[in-house]
Structure 1
Amino acid sequence: MTPDIAMDQAQLEIGRVGRRVCNMMNALPPLTSKLATQQEQSAAVEALGKIETLEQQVDILHGHILFYLGRLRKEPLSQAQSDRQIMLISVTDQLESIADLIEDTLVPIMDKSLHAEISISPEMQSTLDEIQDKVAHALLDSVNAIRRGDTQRAKRVLNTKRTLNALLDKVLAHQAERLVEHNPNRLQLFSIEMEWTESLKRVYTVTKRIAKLHLREKET
């Protein structure tokens, strides 16, 4: 098998990893508290279990792909082939990093919120859900940019930054208003909501790296 064909095969496998990471992000329920309905709490718990299963699959595929790509170094590679190999390794690592962020950061925040006596305001819930939706769509675009060689999707990921920043500013403004309220749980609510938004922002930051890797490859 030639290096180019081998890397085509690796890229298909990376697409499988990407789909699973997207499924993890899509399975992530909206931020839910102990004060939510029993149905909402049950759905959140079930979703967290699904995310854990997907993350284990991502870890296994990640290891296989890196081993496979590493073996290509035994063959002489052109500069273009070497650059592509490095790009594929980096994309694989970035996808695994997103899976880790979801499993090790967002899932624990969700678990903490499910045991907290907090009440998320309808306005804040709407903003948090919109941020989560934008990040999920950006992740899907970045994965499809790699899978399909779609430059427009990669550019769309980068263009999401302005919208996300505006939503994050909206969260901060709302938080500033809520902090003056005489709610004994306001600091816990503040902490959970900020951890959630910061973690989603980190997912988007890694997602942008994947899009930039695709664009960089297309420019060379």
Structure 2
Amino acid sequence: MSALATPGYGRAFAFFREAAGPEWDAYTRHAFVEQLGDGTLPRASFLHYMRQDYVFLFNFARAWALAAAKSDTLEEMRHAASTVAGLAEGEMALHVEVCAREGIDKDALFATKETQENLAYTRYVLESGYSGDLLDLLAALAPCVLGYGEIGLRLAAEGRETPYAEWIATYAGEPYQAICREVGALIDGAIERRLGADFTAVPRSRRLAERFTTATRLEVGFWDMGLRGS
């Protein structure tokens, strides 16, 4: 298990995170993340990542819309729909603002050609929803939403001076942390509704953890792509 205490994003996240083992640290403590925190990340690498991440988030929002369609209750549907809104109004808006200051307008941002790492990750998440049920989709979605929340909290707590403070503040801030808590509650409710309160003892929970770990590995590849730059 990661040395960092598990954030309060729910029982299922804690279970998945522990099952991911060293893969989780490889993601949340990747060199790209550490260089964001200490300010040594090259600006070109950051902007390359931001452009790719904007396109990623567009597909990620589509996956959350699919989660709403896969929902069995109105509560699940509301949670999924609010996450779509949070992505569009929060994360994606940050990308537009940062890139605009660098002379990259919204049209150019949206026209960014996806890298192989981006394609692999987004299509894996969408395929998880198309071929599976809501639990499969949520397990694939969770590393991105909740991992960024964990990363933001840690980097903000370290309090290092960095030109990427705006990025850190977005993910450490209360609006994003509220999304993380809501997503954690959604996953807990969905998994307990389908597998029972003692879900960790059910064989399917291990398969869901494997899906979570696969998505975590794809996050590592995404950071690799960002660090590599254009």
TM-score bracket, normalised by the shorter chain, equals 0.3 to 0.5
Q: What is the TM-score with the length of structure 2 in the denominator?
A: 0.37
Q: What is the TM-score with the length of structure 1 in the denominator?
A: 0.38
- Higher RCO structure (Cα 8 Å, ≥6 apart): 2
Radius of gyration: which is bigger? 1
